[in-house]
Amino acid sequence: MSSVNGRKFFEKAVENWPAKVLSVALALVLFVFHEMSMLEDRFFSVPLKIETNGNLVPSSSYPRMIRVSLRGEANSIYPILEDDIEVYVDLTKYNDPGFYKAPIQIRKKGTAVGVDPLEINVDPLEIAVGLDQKLSKYVPLTPSFRGYLETGYELVSYTMDPSQVEIEGPQGIINGITELPTDYIELNGRHENFTTTVRVLNRDPLMMIRGSGTVEFRGFIQELIMLKNFDNLLIGITGLNDKFLASPEVSVGSVRLEGGQNRLEDYIPWGAIMTLDCANIDEPGTYSIPVQVTVPPLFTVVRYDPQEVIVEIIPSEHEDDHEEDQG
């Protein structure tokens, strides 16, 4: 009796089996579709790391950022930190310079570990990159200036600390670099010594600058020095006793001054800056008197002409009248 029941159960179980299998498969597909529809996508970009054997470095351009997509449950994928998804290319097996193609690989860390379900995809899937021998050397720094100092001033000297930096990169690129420029150093309106810190410019992403990548610049500024002639200056008489009159052979002269450009251009001589000192004359006669030049201490007298003047000293009319009265 039991065998009959078993046979009936089997016959009933296999009855219309194609339809039953199809129903189970459809249910499974619907379940999977439902589960997939509950998953979300998240996109971001992370830096690509190139791993080599240490003697070789990238010598050609390659994508610095890789697009990463995460697919999983919302409460699982959004807490993942971008830094915990690392993308890299493993080129450690290569020992000779050349051009190589390799897949982009994924390394999960921290918040990305143990998340399930989690599907990670990258774009692009692989890259091609050139490798060259790694080389390092020291190169001098050159300052880059922008703007102009205040009129009448000049940059006479400067120092930089450091004055050179160590660079590292592929041999073919490093061999062609003889110096590195700084970022712009502003000169606009400056008229005194100054100190500033600027970046060292690196215009090649395949090259690395060792150290802080900055330089301290000290500039030393001074006023421009110029020469200026002053002509047709009246030669004054000083210290002469009232009982005398002076009659110089030359009454005008010229002076050549040296000084700061701004001050000297604005300088206008007031009064007599060229004089003849007659204080020691006590009787009429003809005298050769040296010319004295008096200018502000900011200026230096380079030359002047004449350097001495012949002066005839005669009694004044007032003195003549006085003598006649006595006679």
Residue 242 region by backbone torsions, left for phi larger than 0, else alpha for psi between -120 and 50, else beta: alpha
Which residue bears the tokens 């041999």? 171
Helices (H), the chain: 2-14, 17-37, 74-77, 171-174, 261-266, 317-326
Give me 13's structure tokens. 């179980």
178-226 pLDDT, tens digit per residue, is 999 999 999 999 999 999 999 999 999 999 999 999 999 999 999 999 9
Q: Span 311-319, mean pLDDT?
A: 84
- Is pLDDT of 15 > 80? no
78-135 pLDDT, tens digit per residue, is 999 999 999 999 999 999 999 999 999 999 999 999 998 999 999 999 999 999 999 9
Specify burial of residue 131 (Cβ count, 10 A radius: 0-12, 13-18, 19+). buried
Q: What is the CB-side half-sphere exposure of residue 133 using CA atoms within 13 A?
A: 5
pLDDT bracket for residue 37 (50, 70, 90): low
The contacts of residue 203 (CB under 8 Å, 6+ apart) are none
137-148 pLDDT, tens digit per residue, is 999 999 999 999
- Is pLDDT of 17 > 80? no
- Is pLDDT of 322 > 70? no
Q: Please tell me what DSSP assigns to residue 298.
A: T
pTM score: 0.70
Class level of CATH domain 38-133: mainly beta
Give me 227's structure tokens. 């020469």
- Is pLDDT of 74 > 60? yes
| Domain assignments of the chain as residue spans, ordered by start | 2-36, 38-133, 135-223, 227-326
CATH superfamily assigned to domain 135-223: YbbR-like domain (2.170.120.40)
227-326 CATH fold: RNA Polymerase Alpha Subunit; Chain A, domain 2 (2.170.120)
- Is pLDDT of 23 > 80? no
User: What pLDDT score was predicted for residue 173?
Assistant: 96
Amino acid (1-letter code) at residue 177: I
Task: Examine domains 38-133 and 227-326 and report if their fold is the same.
Answer: yes
Q: How far apart are CA 230 and CA 181, in angstroms?
A: 45
- Is pLDDT of 29 > 90? no
